[in-house]
Structures are given as structure tokens and as C-alpha cells.
Amino acid sequence: MKVSEYHKKGLKNYAEQKPEGYELLGSAKEGVHRVEFYIRKNNGKISDAKFSSSKRCKKLIAIADLVAEKLKNQNVSSIKIDPQEVLDFFKEEKEQDKMRNRLEIILKAVKR
């Protein structure tokens, strides 16, 4: 899928700021790119995940939204995101080097 198509379908997990009742999972910043993930937990599992980010990069936002979906129902103590699975989802996108870079920023924010 292309990033532009993903955005057209609508972001499910974007939040302007930390949503009420959520806690910060982690954040990362590189240059002008910033991302923060917030989670709601239930019995050690992530019941919901949201993110906020700098609005400059559509690639970063699309990847963060997808990763937030993948965080749901995972154990907080053993979060696993498969980088190749995320990149494969956006394999139609040009500039795969930029996609890998944005994914690295996101993974820094969600790794514990």
C-alpha cells in the first residue's frame, strides 16, 4: 500500500496530545521527526494504543498508525513489532530508505 492511500482510509490512532486515561509508552526524536506512543493497559496487556507526532512527515504518521494497531493486545512486557512486516505492508511506497528510517524512529519509541 502507498502512504497516500493509507492516509485516505483515515488514521485510527492519531492523537493531538496524550489522551486522558493513557500512559506514555515511549517517545523518540530524530531531527525534525518526533513520535510518542500512549497506551491503555488491562491486566498487563495493551488494550488500546494512540500516537502523536510531528506533522511534517506523512510516512512517519502512516507507519506510526500501523504500529499502534499492532501494539494492541500485546503484553506490555514483551512488545514485538516485525520491521519487515511493516515495510512489506508499505512495499508500494517509493523511497524505501526513508520508510526504514522512519520505522527505526518509531521502533525506538515502542521498545522497552
Q: What is the CATH number of the domain that holds 105?
A: 3.90.1010.10
Q: Look up the domain containing 72 and give its range.
A: 3-110
Residue 5 parent element (H or E) = helix 3-9
* pLDDT tens by residue, 1-18: 999 999 999 999 999 999
User: For residue range 24-76, what is the model confidence (pLDDT) as tens digits?
Assistant: 999 999 999 999 999 999 999 999 999 999 888 999 999 999 999 999 999 99
Check residue 112 and give its pLDDT. 58
* The total number of structural domains that make up the chain: 1
According to the model, what pLDDT value does residue 111 have?
86
Q: Rounded to the nearest 10 degrees, how much is the dihedral formed by the CA atoms of 101, 83, 63, 45?
A: -130
With vertex at residue 98, the alpha carbon angle to CA 96 and CA 100, rounded to the nearest 5 degrees, is 70
